[in-house]
Amino acid sequence: MRAFQLLLSPLPCLSLLLALIFPSTSQNYDEFRKKHIDSRTNKKHNNQYCNTIMEQKINRDTGTCRKVNTFIHAPEKVVVILCRRIPNAMKTSTKKFSLTICKLQRKRGQRCTYKAKNEFRRIEIKCEDSLPVHFCGDVPPVKDKHWRERGGGWELLSVSDQIKCE
């Protein structure tokens, strides 16, 4: 009887209601792997690659066109090793990874068209329980991440533009 009263108390009901209204935006390792790891490393990836992989791995589940997504071309275990001995923290890789950045160019109905950009850069990820769970960004050649490429040069990011990983 006491357990039944506890279930009907306002706090558990409010928690359930909030969870339904505001679902968690946290991501786990399986979602990270699906969204960001593609171990095919043998060639440069083009626009058709982005159109196909974005449909297969990202957009099909959401029913919308994601604006941008980065794929890391490395074996899964190489990416996981970055979080070894780091239970819950941000990690910037020391080695560079082959990346494909797929950026939405246009949407017509349910059809999403992407432009591919291939990079070879260090990456920044968020680790939880010694596993990667969020891709925070690629690190520009300049060591200070407060700068970004612009018009063939570099510009200082304002505080609001600086890369954040949530």
Coil, helix or strand at residue 116: strand
Which residue among 36, 45, 73, 146 is the active-site one? 36
Q: How far apart are the first and last CA of the chain?
A: 41
Nearest to 136 by CA among 162, 105, 166: 166
Whether residue 36 lies in the annotated active site: yes
Which residue among 45, 73, 134, 146 is the active-site one? 134
Work out the number of other CB atoms within 10 angstroms of the CB of residue 65.
Answer: 19
Work out the number of other CB atoms within 10 angstroms of the CB of residue 117.
Answer: 15
Residue numbers annotated as active site: 36, 134
